[in-house]
Amino acid sequence: MFIEQEFYLWKLTYDLVVAQDFQVLNMSAERGEVWLEKEQGWQTHVIRLSHKQINWRNELRRDLEKSYRQLSQNKKLFRGGKVQFHVLYVSEYPPVEEWENVESDISSSQNNPISIYYMDDENKTVEKKKLYEAFQLEEPLIDQQVSESEMEAMLPYLKQQLVKKQQDQRRQVLSIFDYGKPQVTYFLLAVNVLIFLYIEWVGESTSVDTLIQYGAKFNPAIMDGEWWRIATSMFLHIGFLHLFMNMFALYYLGTAVEKLYGTWRFTWIYVLSGLFGGVASFMLNPHVAAGASGAIFGLFGSLLFFGVQHKQLFFRTMGWNLIFIVILNISFGLLVPQIDNGAHIGGMVGGFIATATVRMPKQMNKSKQLAALAVFLLLISSMAFTGYKGLFNNEKGFSEVQETQDLNQSGDYDEVIEITSETLADPGRYEAALLFNRSFAYLQKGETSEAEEDLLRVLELSPKMAEAHYNLALLYQQVGEEDKAADHAERAADINPDQEDFKELYENLR
Q: Is residue 296 part of a domain?
A: yes
**3-class secondary-structure state, position 286:** coil
Helix axis angle, 183-202 relative to 263-284, nearest 10°?
Answer: 40
C-alpha closest to that of 459 among 431, 432, 428, 491: 432
What CATH code is carried by the domain that includes residue 472? 1.25.40.10
Q: Is residue 176 part of a domain?
A: no
Q: Looking at the structure, do residues 427 and 376 belong to the same domain, yes or no?
A: no
The answer to whether 86 is a known catalytic residue is: no
Instruction: Note the pLDDT of residue 491.
Output: 86
Q: Which residue range is the domain that position 38 belongs to?
A: 2-170
Q: Looking at the structure, do residues 155 and 22 belong to the same domain, yes or no?
A: yes
- Check whether 111 has a pLDDT greater than 70: no
| Mean pLDDT computed over every residue of the chain | 83
Q: 376: pLDDT confidence band, cut at 50, 70 and 90?
A: very high
The answer to whether 293 is a known catalytic residue is: yes
Q: Is residue 146 part of a domain?
A: yes
Active-site position among 67, 273, 293, 439: 293
What CATH code is carried by the domain that includes residue 206? 1.20.1540.10
Contact 437, 473 (CB under 8 A): no
Q: Looking at the structure, do residues 162 and 209 belong to the same domain, yes or no?
A: no
Question: What number of other Cβ atoms are within 10 A of residue 225's Cβ?
Answer: 7
Q: Looking at the structure, do residues 264 and 219 belong to the same domain, yes or no?
A: yes
DSSP string, 133-150: HHTT-PPPP----S-HHH
- Check whether 180 has a pLDDT greater than 60: yes
- For the stretch 220-265, pLDDT in tens is 788 878 899 999 999 999 889 889 989 998 999 999 899 999 999 9
Q: Looking at the structure, do residues 130 and 43 belong to the same domain, yes or no?
A: yes
C-alpha closest to that of 349 among 321, 320, 375, 382: 375
Active-site position among 344, 439, 469, 488: 344
Q: Looking at the structure, do residues 200 and 154 belong to the same domain, yes or no?
A: no
C-alpha closest to that of 317 among 326, 327, 306: 306
Q: 277: pLDDT confidence band, cut at 50, 70 and 90?
A: very high
